[in-house]
Amino acid sequence: RSKSDLLSAPLPLLSLAPMPPVVELSARTGQGLEELEQEIARRAALLPDAAPEMLKAGTDILVEYQRGSIIEKGLIDTGDMFDSIRAGPVKEGRDGWYQEVWPQGRDRNGTRNAEKGFILEYGTSRIEQTHWMSEANDAAKDEVVEAMRKVWLEYVERMES
């Protein structure tokens, strides 16, 4: 098993864009469509610069939710896995920008924290599943998206002023 087997929390970016300005559009002639397309393209071009700041705002919240879930479920032994939960680097993939949040590195005994997180999430024949990460990700979703949306709106406003 690898860290890729452990749930990560993809942060959605599609629903974050503010609506482009209203343009007059003729349903009969299509006049105004080009202006609308240009405005959407202009705003889309802002996203590569805004994405890291947006993702940081979201992952800061998600890290706290995942750590809170570990505390709530009483899963702390040495605290190594708890301390290892952090966001990885911002990456650009096929579907856009993303940043993963999960237990990273190894504990003091050399065990991968992601492996411990996976076992605690899904369980084994001797260890009960806890769903600590999936529950934290679900609980954090609205707050994460709102934090990212706020950063996006502030960024667009700065660029337009």
In this predicted model, what pLDDT tens digit does every residue of 128-151 receive, in sequence order? 999 999 999 999 999 999 999 999
Q: pTM for this structure? A: 0.79
Contact yes or no for 113/103 (Cβ under 8 A): yes
Give residue-wise pLDDT tens across range 35-85.
888 888 888 888 888 999 999 999 999 999 999 999 999 999 999 999 999
Q: How far apart are CA 118 and CA 31, in angstroms?
A: 55
